[in-house]
Chain A
């Protein structure tokens, strides 16, 4: 089970994030989680949104360079040491995490950990074998 992540290239200058946010707002797309990776020259905005295909289209039409990538969204509960458990699982199975970020639901003690691997399919297998629930695009949409 994979979810589609949207990534957007941003020049390191004022107002760029606001422009992305406006485009999404005007199209009625909700952002579930986001992270920005940056260097001194540019940034890459990565987002999990309610409608990834539509977000891809509207951002591209607005002139941004956009990519969609499959990543995994693992459901976790607010339990001590759980993040360590997952990292340990990845380490023991030689799963290389490119990056990760998370989202905590307000109404429950549930959190979603987004993980980008170099080998997504193998990561999915290992997560499933170890009893982790992975969310789909549809489930993200409903949050």
Chain B
């Protein structure tokens, strides 16, 4: 089902023209209204008038997450604060959070792209959308909410957690569409089994899953256990939240709504734009967003693009499911984690340069995070209770920093492997 067939099936040539026009416009606005962009462009001697078509995008400087932090919270506003109607932020796990400030038109845009997304899995106004993404500053909950409202479906804004209640609501109200993280969907299926509920007896037909990495194997498992069609969705707070790209019913790569979000693949080292089909870092530009326009934002997500025609009839470019990251970020239970955060916590508790490693596994369908720390003089005592207290203290501090709980395990000195003197920090055993 295509929500907006005019825009989603537009001939590519026409689409390029539209993108060029929109790019020109957004660059002009950003230059006029945002000092940060003006300075960046002036520094390399680019003027808005240098942008004539979408191909000219390579003349523009990149935007990085670190830069976004420097201008936190309002440094990227292109409109008056009075025109902002809603603000969302990332969890801010690596420092200051990233801000997305929406005007009413941005909310309308978000509703539009999420309506397109939900339509890809066949959601219509006859459906009941069970939205188990978290509501709050996190974009997942409200993104799906706006899309479902736009379509005219019923939304059950249940948010995350309390799985038994999720199941009874699903059963009682007849949820037909599910939205949550892929691992949570399996957790729900597991809980249903324990409760004696047959998922096949529920009217669920489609599920929209995102915010954490998953695989085709996991999709097969979800589809079998929940008896629905599992659709991969992609988005990020910086750009709009969910609604940047989604799979269609053919589940063969994700269509990017490139009439609003222009996608490039660049070499993560040289920044050079790569040709279609080459794997590299995804760079996104918001072509129509008013509140906080993002120009050539480096997502650090690795993928490749294809403009080959999709069976669904959409002309939109497709990106492969994420292939990795250009940094050492881990996504655990939908939360972004960097080893440097763990290091800071250990330094704080421990007072010395810690040796540690991070182990991620999936147990009972949920991500399990273990931080192994080498024992040292400041953590050790002849008394169990002291060592256990230290262990708890690290666990507590990690929870504060990472926003998810982990198990701390103390190991003997040199218990953590080192290669060329440098410890390998991450062991990801999840079979996803």
Chain A positions near chain B (C-beta within 8 angstroms)? 5, 7, 9-11, 16, 37-39, 41-42, 44, 46, 63-65, 67, 69, 98-99, 116
Contact = CB atoms under 8 A, between A and B. Distances in A.
A41 B376 contact: no
B410 A42 contact: yes
A44 B382 contact: yes
Closest 6 CB pairs of A and B: A7-B382, A65-B375, A9-B375, A65-B380, A11-B412, A69-B382
Contacts of B381: 7, 44, 67
Nearest to B382: A7
28 contacts: A7-B381, A9-B375, A9-B387, A9-B410, A9-B412, A11-B411, A11-B412, A16-B412, A38-B384, A39-B384, A39-B388, A41-B409, A41-B410, A42-B387, A42-B410, A44-B382, A44-B384, A63-B412, A64-B412, A64-B413, A65-B377, A65-B412, A65-B413, A67-B377, A67-B381, A69-B382, A98-B383, A116-B382
Interface string B361-385: 0000000000000011100111110
A40 B272 CA distance: 52
B415 interface: yes
Nearest to B383: A98
Nearest to A98: B383
**SS class, residues of chain B in contact with chain A:** loop
B384 A37 contact: yes
Contacts of B376: 65
A41, A46, A69, A98 pick with most chain B CB within 10 angstroms: A41
Interface in B394-431: 409-415
A10 B384 contact: no
Given A42-B387, A98-B383, A63 B375 contact: no
Q: Which of B381, B383, B388, B411 has the most CB of A within 10 A?
A: B383
B387 A44 contact: yes
Interface of B: 375-377, 380-384, 387-388, 409-415
B380 A67 contact: yes
Nearest to A5: B382
Given A42-B387, A44-B387, A63 B413 contact: yes
| Chain A at the B interface: SS class | strand
A110 to B, nearest CB: 25
Contacts of A46: 382
Given A41-B410, A64-B413, A69-B382, 6 more contacts: A11-B411, A16-B412, A67-B377, A67-B381, A67-B382, A116-B383
A38 B382 CA distance: 11
A1 to B, nearest CB: 19
A18 to B, nearest CB: 14
A10 B410 contact: no
A49 to B, nearest CB: 14
Contacts of A37: 384
A67 to B, nearest CB: 6
Most buried by A among B377, B380, B388, B414: B380
B174 to A, nearest CB: 45
A88 B360 CA distance: 50
A69 B411 CA distance: 21
Contacts of B377: 65, 67
A50 to B, nearest CB: 19
Contact of B380 (A9, A63, A98, A99): A9
Nearest to A9: B375
Contacts of A64: 412-413
Nearest to A116: B382
A72 to B, nearest CB: 14
A63 B376 CA distance: 10
Contacts of A116: 382-383
A37 B409 CA distance: 17
Contacts of B409: 41
Nearest to B388: A39
A5 B412 CA distance: 20
B191 to A, nearest CB: 27
Contacts of B411: 11
Contacts of A42: 387, 410
Nearest to B410: A42
A38 B410 CA distance: 13
A74 B376 CA distance: 31
A63 B414 contact: yes
